[in-house]
Structure 1
Amino acid sequence: MSNSPPIFCSGLELANLAVSSGLLSQTWDPILKLYRELNQGEQIRFEVYQKPNCTVIAFVTSPNLTKRHLQEEDELVSSAFLSHLHFLCTKSNPTFSIHKAAATLFSSLIDQLTNLKNLISNSAPLIVTGHSVGGSVASLFTLWLLESMNRTEPKRVLCITFGAPLVGDKGLQQAISRNSKWNSCFLHVASNQDLVPRLFVSPHNPNAMQIDSGSVAYQPFGTYLLCSESGYTCVEDPEEVSQLLEAVGSETASNQNRNVELEIFYYTETVKRVEYIVIGQGISELGELKVQRAGTILRLDAVGIKRTQQPLIDNMEKREKFRASKQNVFEDKKLNKMKVYMAYLEWYKKKSMSEKEGYYGYYDSYKYKRFPKDMDVIKYKKRLNEYWKKVVEEAERMPQRENAPLHPRWLYGGTNYRRMVEPLDIADYYSKGSKNYKADGRSEHYKKLEEWLKSDTPTRKPDNRKKLNVSNSLTEDSCFWERVEEALMLCKSLGNGEGDRELTRMNLVTFEEYVMEQIKNYAVSPDIFLEGSSFMRWWREYESITRTFYISKLTDLMKTGKYDKYADGSLDFSAV
């Protein structure tokens, strides 16, 4: 696998969120409290703490036990013996290994943790935390939670560890990074005064350097907040994390006797120092640094590494330049291509409304695919979907904020894409005879883009200015045609005398009201009224069922032909 640095890094935002919101102190304080409650002879303990804005689950181990495990046991145990973590294995990543002591402690608590997992409320944000080897157990418990949460989609969980040793090998790192959300759930705080986070980093721990593939055995994952008395820096690139931890080790008397050097380091002052700078002084030393030598050196100074480490400086600059270049390529060249594809779909939409095309409209022209240009739409739709799925996947790696996680420019582009392309996916879905698109066929990335738009603009009022440009507008509800297709099925069911007739009529009335609301808000494209459209086909079938005795706002609009004025914005709704 390539050692290229990750192109998209959410670590900076994660660290800033944790520090500026006071999460570091909120998670370190329960650890201190738990240490005070730890009974003599007790090896490991966890406790649940209810905070005003979150639930905290903290793990600690006996200091003496911690020293013994870290001094004597650096062995890795294979995933073949870790039944509770088998879900991390895939065809492309069939095995991984975990620090034996951490795996043993986690397994010893599995019955209690199973009960805890079943009791955890989905309403409050959840933070899992731990110190030293307790942090390793916290990481494993978080992974176990994430697997079940991936299926049920409850609240987001965040794991913050303090002074935790590396917990697994390259296989574990890859298993975590394959899921776009998981890697962003971990923030590891490590001080340069604490030996434990760098114990298993080569060459400081030569006994755990190699595995069969010849690579370094222990590998980091997640985001690291590296601290010293001089400052701190945030790193997500796993190779840079390993190099910085190794460099910190070379700066702190690595030739000392390991048994003498290993002392349990407590993070009370470290947390206070970090939060004082970010919150107390109103500045953030975690901020982005430009790709230049001074920026790299400042990052090294922040974690107490001498400026003489030239190979490390050169490598960090090289990887940062790579990230910057790839980001520019992604944002510029790739985005420009997507704009070209969207422009083609805009042209296709206008062409589909012409007499030559049979007045079918955008949706139905694509659904029936009668012309060669329809094949080009298939190609462009596929590429747009691939692009935006990746954008949404990367956005989900970012810490969730109160508002949409996409920058407004991207959210605007994503909204136009969803409104232009999802109707085409709906057309493909129903042309195969399928049903219930929203429940059974809708892609998750569409749901996220719609959810983020709603959170960014929670209240939307009718905008009369939209009627001035309604002829060029896109239908705002990207699932409008799904509703039309389902309404067509209801008409067919009613005409055939199938199912609960009263319930079917009620559902059709609900659809009527929905359509009328969209029309009043100028939220639908006028091509829905083209003679060849599925909407007009629905209307003709519905009119034949309801006949003349049924009157509603929509039937009045349609039977009187007033909808003809919709396209130029001259429709008078007071007369409807």
Structure 2
Amino acid sequence: MASSRGGSESMELSADKIEKSFAAALKVHKTPEKHYLLEKNNKTNPPEVIISFPASGAFKDWYSKTTFGETEIDLSLFPSLRSIGNNEPALVNKSFLQRFKDILTKSSLRDEVVRAMNRQKQIVFAGHSSGGPLAILATLWTLENYLTPKSQGGIPPLCITFGSPLIGDHIFSHATRREIWSHYFFHFVMRYDIVPRILLAPLSSFDQRFETVSQLIDPKYKSFMSESSLGRIASISDFYFEVMSNAATVTRHAACKLMGTTEATLETIANFVPLSLYRPFGTYIFCTTSGNEGKQIVIKNPDAVLQVMFFSAQLSSEAESDEVSYKSLRQHISYGTELIKNLGMQNVVVLDQLQNLPLSDNTTLDGIIGTINTALNDLGLSTRARLCIEAAAALEERKRNNEKIIEQKKGFMEEKMKELKRYKETWEHQKKGYYDGFKEQADPEDFKANVKRLDLAGVWDEIIDKLIKNELPEGFEGKKEWIEIGTRFRRLVEPLDIANYYRHSRNRDGRVYMDKGGRPKRYRYTQRWLEHYEKRGDEGYSESCFWAEVEDLSYDNKSFEDVKERVVVLEEKIKKWRDRNDVGKDVFLEGSTFVKWWKSLPEQHRQQSCIQNLVQL
């Protein structure tokens, strides 16, 4: 049994589910011309549907023309697979993505998923070899469409892969953890299987060797999954060492970052040698075999998984060169005999306390620590490997501690926002709102409000800086509590930032607040958090920063006809925000900058405007 936990969620896989998923993943190879294979099992509770995808060894189905075959994820299909604050899409393997998109458009997969979800069936997407990335994308697509706040929901799908290559970059991994989806994914990897490691090397390093080796992993070839064909592939050793030498550079560079150290030589190499962007995600189950027994070693930390992928496939001595190279392909085609036979033995070791690993492989230990040490030895993990894994755990601990420090500042933030809210309320019964009152800075209370604005900005700038530096947990941007605090902060404080910006005429020489260099990240990030949480999409300027658009339109010397489209868009947005109570009545007071500007518009336009009843005429 393999298990994984995500947030308050807990997922478990039975030996029966694993075995049936692998059988389906193997069976679909026999019909590579089909997009997928669907098998139903109504005897389980809940009823189960297994959808498996065939592998392909065709060069075009692995690599495109870029160095690592990467492309930006299609955000129309996978809107969550991005860094929210930076608004940066994940990078994925272009060929795998294209294959999945073809399946969506050319098959009945969409209908089958809808049918299963509506009938409350458990969908298991499965794939062996390069069928794995298709299962991964199918699972993510289902999560995007059927487990959102606006959907009817259903039973979350599972994804089980065997010997799957990597598919996405660190943003891909980050996004699945932020959305609390990573615990739906289980990846079985034999210790020496080379396929999960292939994409750690660039296309240019293989020459023609990939096409030769790929015949073993392409169902369209007669030599597919044939052990007898292994002996005829003379380039196995070259292929194996090319992949692993690139993997060594990638993992060493990653380990240095985990430990907070820099190696001048390594950084120089990284500037000239392209480093693979692909990273693990989800729960990895590394499978070892020793005689008639084997173990399943479960790891969920993606940084630790990357280190294990490299160190577990290392040679113990030079004499093992040919043997390990041979195993690297043999194990990929023999999951059925090496993995399935051990499923019922319950030899599962879950490595969830990575910071307490025994560092010596020669130490004899009892109890759970002894069991863990034996498992690490079975994976061939040296002291250096264990230190790298502990560094991955230490990074997670630092992120959690940073979050605790920020949590302690919430009381300070709430108090400052209460004081600013009271300041705002003092202007609601006057002819102009707090935006214009603050802009004039004619009262000592305006100065005090400015100090509070700067206090809050300092805290939020610290939060954003830690996010950018990857020093907070992946789930931080998706937490409802922080989204709500960030939204209240943005709506209350950003108008004051804008008032200060235009009060000091920083828009001179054409510098606009909403340009990238003008609007602070603390507002751009928190706006995107809310838009993502509510599945709104990018709305451009928001209810907290429309004042900048008003100011720019006021300063613009263009004719009304030239800016009419912008004016209409602004009016429509303001009506929507007022209907949702996202902007207050003070916006429409007689002395506000907005009302003064709006009244300067042509009368004919104002009479037909959607907000004419909101403005005090």
TM-score computed with the length of structure 2 as normaliser: 0.49
- 1:443 equivalent to 2:524? Answer no
1:225 aligns with 2:215: no
Decide which of 240, 246, 255 is 2:310's aligned counterpart. Answer: 246
2:394 is matched with which residue: 312, 316, 321?
321
The alpha carbon displacement at 1:106 in A equals 6.7
CA–CA distance in 2 between the matches of 1:367 and 1:56? 61
| Pair 1:176-2:172 in alignment | yes
Structure 2 CA distance for aligned equivalents of residues 84 and 235 of structure 1: 26
Q: Distance in 1 between matches of 2:5 and 2:436?
A: 43
User: Counterpart amino acid of 2:527?
Assistant: S
Whether 1:42 and 2:35 are equivalent positions in the alignment is no
Q: Look up the match of 2:23.
A: 32
Question: What's the counterpart of residue 302 of structure 2?
Answer: 237
Q: Which residue of 1 aligns with 2:240?
A: 205
Rounded Cα–Cα distance in structure 2 between residues aligned with 1:373 and 1:306: 62
- Unmatched 5+ stretches in structure 2: 76-81, 202-236, 250-269, 288-293, 360-367, 503-524, 536-577, 599-603
Assess if the C-alpha contact under 8 Å between 2:163 and 2:188 holds in 1: yes
Percent of residue pairs bearing the same amino acid type: 10
Separation in 1, partners of 2:283, 2:103: 29
> Is the alpha carbon distance of 1:53 and 1:306 closer, same or farther for their aligned partners in structure 2, counting shifts above 3 Å?
closer
Q: Are positions 1:482 and 2:583 aligned together? A: yes
Distance of 2:88 and 2:137 partners within structure 1: 18
2:378 matches 1:305: yes
Question: What's the Cα RMSD here?
Answer: 6.4
Q: Within 1, Cα distance between the matches of 2:178 and 2:420? A: 40
Report deviation, 1:327: 2.9
Distance in 2 of aligned mates of 1:108 and 1:143? 15
Q: Does the 8 Å CA contact 2:124/2:158 hold for their aligned counterparts?
A: yes
Distance 2:579 2:467 in 1: 19
Asked if residue 374 in structure 1 is aligned to residue 455 in structure 2, the reply is no
Indicate how the Cα distance of structure 1 residues 30 and 134 shifts in structure 2: closer, same or farther if over 3 A, else same.
same
Compared with structure 1, are the counterparts of its residues 341 and 149 closer, same or farther at alpha carbon in structure 2 (3 Å cutoff)? same
C-alpha displacement of 1:420: 5.6
Instruction: Give 1:271 deviation, angstroms.
Output: 6.0
After superposition, residues 326-405 of structure 1 pair within 5 angstroms as 326-332=399-405, 334-350=406-422, 364-365=433-434, 368-369=437-438, 370=441, 371-383=446-458
Contact 2:163 2:195 in 1 (8 A): yes
Query: CA offsets per residue over residues 297-348 of structure 1, 9 Å max, x none?
Result: 865544653687111122222342343234323421x344454343333344
Question: What SS does structure 2 have at the residue aligned with 1:190?
Answer: strand
Residues 129 and 167 from structure 1, CA distance in 2 versus in 1: closer, same or farther, beyond 3 angstroms?
same
Is this contact kept in 2: 1:45–1:61, CA < 8 A? yes
Question: Residue 384 and residue 75 in structure 1: after superposition, are their counterparts in 2 closer, same or farther (change >3 A)?
Answer: same
What does the per-residue CA deviation read over 1:70-101, in whole Å, with 9 as the maximum and x for residues that have no partner? 9x9998543499798675999999997859xx
Pairs within 5 Å for 1:4-15: 13-14=5-6
2:11 — aligned with what?
19
Structure 1's 78 and 377: CA in aligned 2 closer, same or farther, altered over 3 A?
Answer: farther
**AA in 2 matched with 1:246:** F
- Is 1:263–2:333 an aligned residue pair? yes
**SS of alignment partner, residue 233 of structure 1:** strand
Contact 2:22–2:128 under 8 Å retained in 1: yes
Which residue number corresponds to residue 234 of structure 2?
none
> Could you tell me which residue of structure 2 aligns to residue 195 of structure 1?
193
1:130 aligns with 2:130: no
> Match of 2:5, SS?
helix
CA spacing shift, 1:288–1:484, aligned 2, 3 Å: farther
Deviation at 1:482, TM superposition (A): 2.4
Instruction: Name the amino acid aligned to 1:265.
Output: Y
SS at match of 1:160: strand
The one-letter amino acid of 1:78's match is K
Matched ranges for 1:270-285 at <5 A: 285=350
Q: Would the alpha carbon gap of residues 183 and 299 (structure 1) be closer, same or farther in structure 2, given more than 3 Å must change?
A: farther
Which one-letter code corresponds to 2:308 in the other structure? L
Q: 1:48 touches 1:57 (CA, 8 Å); kept in 2?
A: yes
Secondary structure of 2:169's match? Answer: helix
Name the amino acid aligned to 2:412: V
2:364 is aligned to none
Structure 1: distance between partners of 2:48 and 2:295 = 32
Whether 1:58 aligns to 2:62 is: no
Report the Cα offset of residue 46 of structure 1: 1.0
- Count of residue correspondences: 429
SS of match in other structure, 1:78: coil
| SS of the residue 1:166 aligns to | coil
Any residues of structure 2 matched to 1:406-425 within 5 Å, and which? 406=479, 411=481, 415=484, 418-419=487-488, 422-425=491-494
When structure 1 is superposed on structure 2, of 294-303 and 109-118 the one drifting more is 294-303
Contact map agreement 2:91 2:172 (CA 8 A) in 1: no
User: Aligned in 2, Cα 1:152/1:303: closer, same or farther, shift over 3 Å?
Assistant: same
| Post-superposition CA distance 1:360-387 (Å, at most 9, x none) | 69x9546631322333344345455567
Change (3 A) 1:305 1:44: farther
CA distance, structure 2, for counterparts of residue 46 and residue 193 of structure 1 = 28
Q: CA separation in 1, counterparts of 2:428 and 2:72? A: 57
Q: Is the 8 Å Cα contact of residues 164 and 188 (structure 1) preserved in structure 2?
A: no
Partner-residue secondary structure (3-state), 2:280: coil
Distance 1:483 1:49 in 2: 56
Mapped to 2, the partners of 1:57 and 1:378 lie a distance apart of 55
> Is residue 84–residue 144 contact of structure 1 (8 Å, CA) maintained in 2?
no
Report how far residue 114 of structure 1 moved: 1.8
1:195–1:262 CA contact under 8 A, matched in 2: yes
Paired position in structure 1 for 2:65: 78
The answer (yes or no) to whether the contact 2:299–2:350 under 8 Å persists in 1 is: no
CA distance change for structure 1 residues 329 and 108 in 2, over 3 Å: closer, same or farther? closer
* Distance in structure 1 (CA, Å) of the matches to 2:135 and 2:195: 15
Distance in 2 separating the partners of 1:27 and 1:308: 26
Give, in whole Å, the separation in 2 of the partners of 1:225 and 1:483.
50
Contact 2:301 2:393 in 1 (8 A): no
